[in-house]
Structure 1
Amino acid sequence: MKILVTGKNGQVVTSLVEAAAYMDDIELIAVGRPDFDLADPPSVRQTILAVKPEIVVSAAAYTAVDRAEDERNLAYAVNVTGAAAVAEAAAVLRVPIIHLSTDYVFSGTDPYPYLEDDEAEPKTVYGYTKLRSERAVASVNPRHIILRTSWVYSPFGANFVRTMLRIAAERDSIGVVSDQWGNPTSALDLAAAILLVATHPARHYSGIYHLAGTGETNWSGFARHIFDVSRALGGPFADVEDIRSSDYRTRAKRPANSCLSTDKFERVFGWRAPSWQASVETVVRRIIDRDYPNYSPQPRDGQEV
């Protein structure tokens, strides 16, 4: 099966390329700038029609949540107009599209894990453009599967896990927000699930699904587990101080609740992500093996480590 995935350097794309390399029946082609640019719809159409994939994975997006508040036109062009161009090209070829979306389509104010048919009420420009992208994709390609996810991390690129380990290598204590909750989601797990969907008979159906790590935590609990795992492996660690969202202001307001129910995905595709703790251990181990193989922590408070 020939799969085209949009983007070249993102966490999910990198994980997909890695996973597909071990599958003899999958030819995965990642496309990105400068030849393929979501802000340039003609380049999108030309590239996809030339490749002639059997399925398209729409993974590339404008994801700079804070910067989007000031770059609304660019965020819209990439996330809405660009995504629609991807879906339309797939429709011309009469092939399905798997489109990645986000928990930011919700307000984040409800106290329970969000279901697929809960009211979408984005509070940020990024969330608004991703919601519009969902609707644009669905309107131009009836064979669509939209996957919403949250709190993505991996051994690659910029993400919370790598940031925490980098800061811990420099500081003894880190303040981390404790009043925002979600499902930490490994891009490695996302890649496995996307490839399952791509080769599953249900890919011919249309609909929205939530796909995220199993289990809930807040950012400070997430950080503590990262450091527990890293310390056990001889990597960087730090003490975590709980802080409030109001103590860490950002240009775009973050959802207080990013938790997603993944029951629908499990019912249809028969797959559920591992516990978020187990997936964090896998990713932290890979990061330490690559980035901190000879890490030697400094003594703290006059004590031996």
Structure 2
Amino acid sequence: MTFGSKLSIIITTFNSSNVILNCLNKIDLNLYHVFVVDNNSSDNTVKIIEENFPNKITIIKNQKNLGYGRGNNCALRLVETEFAMILNPDAFIFNKDIELILETLDQNPEITICAPLLLKKYPFNAQDFEEEIEVMKQNLRSQENSYFSVKYVIGACLILRMSFFQEVGFYDEEIFLYYEDDEICHRVITNNKICAINTEAFAYHTGQGSSGKNYRNLYRRFWHRSWSKFHWKEKQKGLAKAYFSASKLVILYGLQTLFYIFIWKPEKIIAKIASIVGGVSYLLGLKAFDKNDNPRGNLKLF
């Protein structure tokens, strides 16, 4: 049985020109409706898609970088199919594995998010994944189904049941980057639904990222990792515990920054300072986006 008419695929890009072709080439574009949401890339990501897949992909061109959650939401609001896959541009999945996940969702209406097993490279070499395989075996022991329930799935590749999220909302739009998956999975579980991993389906996450590699991007990533961590903790544990954790982190990372200055590790220094500023920004009540909806975390100190 083919479930192609039931699925849309959403890929949010930002300077993803080095990975997007590998991702899209694995997808049967005649079978699934594919959305690419581009967050104002400064490279030729959009041009590559338009030249290689003319009139086959719906491209949403944002005028600014909206981040992971807001970017995905731009397409999720347009989805008309029963299910939607969220796929990172530096990940890929084969059609047979997509169909296995859709079969699990079709047969188990209580499952609201389902993901494949995520591997780090292709082709798969068992010797490279001894630790992961051992954990997998422990989790799968005595399993009668082709899936097991989890508290959290990695957002590089997952499929959402749209009826649930159309009712409760999509990704948290207060977050620019990081902890979106924790938040959305937590919402599933608190509504007595299931997040699951299909044990027969595989996806491959190369981990090359879509945000670029330089000090400015490093600073922004760690700023948002820190801010999002405490925003998520507040939603999960309450304001008092989030404030306590943020205050503790600021002190600890301040001491660690002095150490990294002493031994001169520039990347570590920038990461720690960004984490401190993100934590302080959270404590001061600043949001991840400014009043003009631009993401905070710009490197202005250097």
TM range (shorter): under 0.3
**TM-score, with length taken from structure 1:** 0.25
**TM-score, with length taken from structure 2:** 0.25
